[in-house]
A and B are shown apart, each in its own frame.
Chain A
Amino acid sequence: MSTIAQKKGFGATLWDYLTTVDHKKIAKLYLMAGGFFFLLGGIEAMVIRIQLAVPNNNFVSAGFYNEMLTMHGTTMIFLAAMPILLGLMNAVMPLQIGARDVAFPFVNALGFWLFFFGGLFLNLSWFLDGAPDAGWTSYASLSLASEGHGIDFYLLGLQISGFGTLMGGINFLVTIINMRAPGMTYMRMPLFSWTTFIGSALILFAFPPLTIGIFLLMFDRLFGANFFDVAAGGNTIIWEHFFWIFGHPEVYILILPAFGIFSEIIPTFSRKRLFGYSSMVFATVLIGFLGFMVWAHHMFTVGLGPIANAIFAVATMAIAVPTGIKIFNWLFTMWGGSIKFTVPMHWGVAFIPSFLLGGVTGIMVAAAAADYQYHDTYFVVAHFHYVIVGGVVFGIFAAVHFYWPLMFGTMLNETLGKITFWLFFIGFHLTFFIQHFLGLWGMPRRIFTFLEGQGLETGNFVSTVGAFFMAAATIVLLINVIVTSVKNKKVGVDPWGDGRTLEWSLPSPPPFYNFKQLPLVRGLDAFWIEKMEGRKRMTPAEPLGDIHMPNSSFTPVMISLGLFVAAFGVMYREDYAWGLPVIIIGLVITFGSMLYRSLKDDHGFHIHKEDLQDDDKKGVEA
């Protein structure tokens, strides 16, 4: 049980990952699955950009373009950015707060498998009935009119993966409240854990409206309900509200963890304590709260009336205040620091101006009157890509380089990392900066081609060239990952040499029980404090004792698989006779597995003190 570095066959490893409830392995699963979907979404983006490279292009048809565009947005948000961030939270947060695992290891695994099967279901639409084609927002009148089953794939797939995300959110909340190490008070918690906490709270309150919205649209499309059918008394605006009551907090669910990542990276490589820690915490909470109060700014042109527009415009602009606090705190953290320009720090420094540009255009589109001009143009496309790519994707790239040793025990190559950075940084600005102007020149969103002589040729061509730079950057990163994995040169404790927080006090990668003895936390940047006082490791807060661990389980896969099967039945219920039986079979698998789980006692197992001491000796030798 306690030997970590066992050589295993492929089958055994696969089974290990299918049944694992260890947060560090689930993190890898999230990273791999999310990375795969990131590549898919990237390919979809390339198709979009190639189609728009020249006027009157016929690289893809109009209908196929709509599918590409819908799937690009949906995949990137739900299946790439969210899971990768959840993966990073899984990998880092429990270690940062000094916990041995998350609060609900089983639910953690279930959350991953629900996301995975939901994403798989959504992407099977390419091979079955055609992908969804009503945009990632899937506005009701358009999505009700969409033929085939594309939209149904969207609804059922997102429903399944949404359940998984909700579970993940609750899990992280409980972990942070109940499982912090001795001395780890809330105001000593690293910023990434704080942003995980607030992000999870947003998940808890933002996903239920999406769940209901999706249910209603599904009832309309598949079961003859009339929620959005105006002729039967319905109202299409309800869908828009549901989508954005979820959708706007979703933006903060994505960006807050990215803020957290940079709040770890910038102090680490400035070798200076984070400037204004408590104001950073305060700003995070405030952004989280305001994130819920601004959803209707996506609907300024719907015609909600001047009062509603004014309220939501003012609330939206208010978010600039806490965000500004954060920007200044990062700058002041670097000010006077002894900065080391590692790859994560490159991303950190580039993030500040890039994200700031997205924030500034955010204020522009928040002005309701002006928004009538920007709405549904490429200006908006440029704005949200500056926020999501310049903020979230930069954060993900930074975190992948920063936490790679923690997750895999090896360091990614710095030179290749810098090549990735420069290619992506140049490509990103090349692609999206010009899109502001394309929008102001009148290019609408979501069109599949444009005509010659409208002044849009150069801008679009430049944008496409930039996209190729970003693709090249991603390929370099993949090469980096492969080269590093093949070399497999293991690193020890604190691989960056400047680690400040608890996770770096552990060997890389950490043993499966994380902390042999829970550490005693004596202040913010716990590990840094110990290092400054000449110690190599944390002071333990408890004597060496038995450690209780949860058992592995295959049940999460079964529960998720059941819903995956049932989803096919729900979709094809009216087309084929096998629909109903398939629903029943799927639900029996799901609820049967749940019943099995609740009837069978699972008390986990204990690692005994003696084995832990053995491990210690081996660790010294290795």
Chain B
Amino acid sequence: MQAEEKMTLEQWPAAPERQTLEAKNKFLGFWFFLGGETVLFASLFATYLALKDKVPSPDHALAKDLFEIPLVFLMTMILLTSSLTSVYAMYHMKNFDFKKMQLWLGVTVLLGFAFLGCEIYEFNHYVHEYGHTFTSSAFGSAFYTLVGFHGAHVTFGLGWILALMIRNAKRGLDLYNAPKFYVASLYWHFIDVVWVFIFSVVYLMGMVG
């Protein structure tokens, strides 16, 4: 049995993402990578919390001056919804419905771009309205590094999912690419996990003071 063989609905296994040994390895290895990413983001959160509101002089903007509820709320909703749409995509993957999977992945990607757009607007806003830049203070460096690392992860995730969608558009699902889709969706959920802490710790706690 070859992983790249054409499959029918009857042959499609219950857990296509863990059917072959390669798939099992990929699955486990990616989870471990996420374990490492947890510590990576923890490092950034720790740095941010240590340097929050640490500015060279009192005329610099602080967290409570910068953040506004509506935009952050919008971004949170977009990203949470994109997490659900990628769950839908995996649901259809398990039911061997390639078209619907692609559709929901497409929605996920669109939501991801919308999120990125908001983030770019937000950063631009801080730079021009408040003079809060990467180099203006330790607070600025820590803020843009933490949120920017997350944004870079979103960007990479978008490129990844798009590459998978385009590459497999013609050939449909098989046991070779099912684990790839699954792992990419895990990555997307992890991005959302990080965002949950970013909006709680950076934005909401920033507004509380």
Contact = CB atoms under 8 A, between A and B. Distances in A.
Indicate whether A and B interact. yes
Interface of A: 103-104, 107, 166, 170-171, 173-174, 177-179, 204-205, 207-209, 211-213, 215-216, 219-220, 223-227, 229, 231-235, 238, 242, 595, 598-599, 601, 603
Contacts of B36: 166, 170, 204-205, 207-208
B140 interface: yes
Contacts of A220: 141
A235 B21 CA distance: 47
Nearest to B56: A232
B13 to A, nearest CB: 18
Contacts of B141: 216, 219-220, 225-227, 234
B28 interface: yes
Which of B21, B39, B140 has the most chain A CB atoms closer than 10 A to its own CB? Answer: B39
A233 B145 contact: no
Given A232-B56, A235-B50, 10 more contacts: A103-B25, A103-B29, A166-B36, A170-B29, A173-B29, A205-B39, A209-B43, A216-B47, A234-B141, A235-B51
A116 B71 CA distance: 45
B43 A225 contact: no
Contacts of A224: 134-135
Contacts of B40: 208-209, 211-212
Given A103-B25, A232-B56, A603-B176, A205 B140 contact: no
B54 interface: yes
B163 A595 contact: yes
B47 A174 contact: no
Given A227-B138, A233-B138, A104 B145 contact: no
A229 B21 CA distance: 49
Nearest to B24: A178
A104 B139 CA distance: 40
7 contacts: A103-B25, A174-B25, A223-B134, A226-B137, A234-B141, A235-B51, A603-B176
Given A219-B145, A226-B137, A232-B138, A212 B33 contact: no
Nearest to B47: A238
B99 interface: no
Interface in B163-177: 163-164, 167, 176
B37 interface: yes
A225 B24 contact: no
Given A173-B32, A178-B24, A601-B176, A209 B39 contact: yes
Nearest to B53: A233
Which of the four size classes fits the interface of chain B?
35 or more
Contacts of A215: 145
A151 B135 CA distance: 20
A462 to B, nearest CB: 43
Nearest to B144: A225
Contacts of A603: 2-4, 176
B70 interface: no
B137 A233 contact: yes
Interface string B118-160: 0000000000000000111111111001000000000000000
Interface in B96-127: none
A233 B163 contact: no
Contacts of A212: 40, 43-44, 47
B156 to A, nearest CB: 10
A232 B137 contact: yes
Contact of A170 (B33, B51, B176): B33
A177 B31 CA distance: 13
Interface of B: 2-4, 21, 24-25, 28-29, 32-33, 35-37, 39-40, 43-44, 47, 50-51, 54-56, 134-142, 145, 163-164, 167, 176
Contact of A177 (B28, B44, B50): B28
A367 B21 CA distance: 49
B4 A233 contact: no
Contacts of A216: 47, 141, 145
Contacts of B32: 170, 173-174, 204
A177 B32 CA distance: 12
Contacts, number: 111
A68 B138 CA distance: 33
B69 to A, nearest CB: 26
B184 to A, nearest CB: 10
B35 A204 contact: yes
A225 B140 CA distance: 8
Nearest to B52: A233
A179 B22 CA distance: 11
Contacts of A233: 51, 54-56, 137-139
B123 to A, nearest CB: 15
B172 to A, nearest CB: 14
A166 B139 CA distance: 29
A168 to B, nearest CB: 12
B134 A213 contact: no
A205 B43 CA distance: 11
Contacts of B47: 212, 216, 227, 238
A523 B50 CA distance: 51
- 5 closest cross-chain pairs (CB), A and B: A233-B54, A233-B138, A208-B40, A212-B43, A225-B141
A603 B55 CA distance: 54
Nearest to A103: B25
A337 B51 CA distance: 59
A212 B39 CA distance: 10
B110 to A, nearest CB: 22
A211 B51 CA distance: 19
Contacts of A598: 163-164, 167
A166 B134 CA distance: 28
A266 B176 CA distance: 45
Contacts of A205: 35-36, 39
B151 to A, nearest CB: 15
A603 B23 CA distance: 12
Which of A207, A220, A223, A226 has the most chain B CB atoms closer than 10 A to its own CB? Answer: A226
Contacts of B176: 601, 603
B50 A238 contact: yes
A223 B142 CA distance: 13
Contacts of A170: 29, 32-33, 36
Contacts of A104: 25, 29
A541 to B, nearest CB: 15
B140 A226 contact: yes
Which of A166, A231, A238 has the most chain B CB atoms closer than 10 A to its own CB? Answer: A238
Contacts of B140: 226
Contacts of A171: 29
B43 A599 contact: no
Contact of A231 (B25, B37, B56): B56
Contacts of B167: 598-599
B54 A234 contact: yes
Nearest to A205: B39
A601 B4 contact: yes
